[in-house]
Amino acid sequence: MLQVSGNTLQQVNTLKYLGVVFTSDESRNKEINTQIGETNAVLRELYYSVVAKRKLSKSEKLSVFKLVFVPILNCGD
């Protein structure tokens, strides 16, 4: 039991702090899966808001792809 200022803190199996998931078994799989899911959500939103828009020209879409998509996809390298 851990107490802070007379309050007993509950022990949890996972904790998300500053975008990082900490687990009681020190596994990084959950953190990696969480980051993949969040990245997929961002890329999906970008796809529907940029790539699928018929009003944007091909050069505008290519610029967004080079400036946004490529850095995100290369982040793990």
**Tokens 């792809």 — which residue?**
65
Note the pTM of the prediction, 2 decimals.
0.47
Cβ–Cβ < 8 Å for 10, 3: no
* Domain residue limits at 68: 2-74
DSSP E strands in 1-77: the ranges are 2-4, 7-9, 14-17, 20-23
Q: State pLDDT tens for residues 31-70.
A: 778 878 888 888 788 888 877 888 888 888 888 888 877 7
Q: State pLDDT tens for residues 2-24.
A: 888 989 988 888 888 776 777 78
Provide the domain count of the chain: 1
For the chain, report the end-to-end CA distance as a whole number of angstroms.
41
